[in-house]
Amino acid sequence: MRVAGKLAVAGRSAAPQRPGGIDAAAVRRRLLAWYTRARRDLPWRGSRDPYLVWVSEVMLQQTQVERVREFFLRFTRRFPTVAALAAAREDEVLRLWEGLGYYRRARQLHAAARLVVADHGGEFPRTLEGLRGLPGVGRYTAGAIASIALDVPAPIVEANSRRVIARLAGHDRPVGGAGDEPIWEIAAALVSRTAPGSFNQALMDLGALVCTPDRPLCGRCPLQALCAAQCSGRVAVIPVMVAARPARKIRERALVTRHGDRVLVERRGPGAWWEGLWDFPRVAPAEAKTAEARRLGVVTYTVTHHKVTCGVLERRVRRVTKPGPGQRWVAIGRLGSLAMTAPGRRIAALLARD
């Protein structure tokens, strides 16, 4: 089994003892001792079920831990097993995911659950290669499931562990994307062969609680004496991050077509933001001027490096027309049962207050 470039994780073979100049044995010993007394109490840590580990890790991608807590509990109450998730309708999965964002994760989670049931008899693959064959399961997620649920000494690199490892090694080159390869190599050499799941979770907890991006609590860090960045006074400049792309500003107009207590909604198509979710149609400026509509309000939102200001117009009609492709009429009181986009939900709130 091969991971992190040329470093193997199968079996209990010896790992380099000073990867990146780090005393690996001392890091493992001190970090695991710290984790025993300081670990975060998180709802998904009560089980080593690969399904629950997988759901939590997918939810945690690009989402803060505190926000994930309530979603994880609600989602796993409704879908306690991979078979339950596989049997669900996509609309229901998306509705329960609403508020977490990045809905592609939910669709891939659903697709992967169906694959596990159809091709693996409801049992998760027990190798990194098998796990990475599932939709949406990349290098990090496979390593997290393998180490936490299956005791495979697989490395992980995400925002928190990347920061800890970069500071430990004094790695002062840009990280992220291809720049993470040296970090992956060090992570593979560091990971505990006897307690890989606890070690990887300890790395993440240390980054979240102590080795934070700004004002890290170095005086409380169990690895302070081993940290190259701390010893050389470079904690504030490591890791070196690539500058974020500036946000592009966009203006758009949503048109709420209303007949009595019913409104016209449409499902976002393939390739669109929030693909598969319901929203109110967008109209061009010229169409908005001829729509004989009144201004209902404004909603703003941010999505994939875009800051959007959306003016909301309401047009009342005397009769219900035949909806177009992907559209339907819905009672305002039933909008809450649909899986809607974030701006769609805010527009629905404007309607409820009107």
Alpha helices in the chain (DSSP H): 24-38, 50-60, 65-78, 82-87, 90-97, 104-120, 128-132, 139-150, 159-169, 181-190, 196-209, 228-231, 285-289, 342-353
- Domain boundaries defined on the chain: 2-241, 248-353
The tens digit of pLDDT for each residue in 12-37 reads 445 556 666 899 999 999 999 999 99
Q: How far apart are CA 55 and CA 274, in angstroms?
A: 20
Active site residue 57: yes
Q: Are 24 and 199 in contact, with CB atoms under 8 Å apart?
A: no
Domain 248-353 superfamily per CATH: Nucleoside Triphosphate Pyrophosphohydrolase (3.90.79.10)
Do the strands 248-259 and 282-283 form a parallel or antiparallel pair, or are they unpaired? Answer: antiparallel
Q: How far apart are CA 259 and CA 331, in angstroms?
A: 9
Catalytic residue, chosen from 57, 98, 185, 314, is 57
Q: How far apart are CA 52 and CA 113, in angstroms?
A: 12
The reply to whether 2-241 and 248-353 are identical in fold is no
Q: How far apart are CA 242 and CA 229, in angstroms?
A: 19
Judged against a pLDDT cut of 90, whether residue 354 lies above it is answered with no
State the average pLDDT over residues 149-157.
96
Question: Which amino acid would we find at residue 308?
Answer: V
Q: How far apart are CA 57 and CA 138, in angstroms?
A: 11
The tens digit of pLDDT for each residue in 53-87 reads 999 999 999 888 999 999 999 999 999 999 999 99
Instruction: Give, in words, the CATH class of 2-241.
Output: mainly alpha
The tens digit of pLDDT for each residue in 241-284 reads 888 788 899 999 999 999 999 999 999 999 888 888 999 999 98
Instruction: Using the CB atoms, write b or e for 21-55: b if 16+ within 10 Å.
Output: ebbbeebbebbbebbeeeeeebebbeeebbbbbbb
If one compares 17 and 290, the residue with the highest pLDDT of the two is: 290
Output phi, psi for 308, to 5 deg: -115, 130
The tens digit of pLDDT for each residue in 161-199 reads 999 999 999 999 999 888 999 999 999 999 999 999 999
Stretch (H or E) spanning 80: none
Nearest CA-CA partner of 166 in 153, 149, 179: 179
In DSSP terms, 279 is beta-bridged to: 266
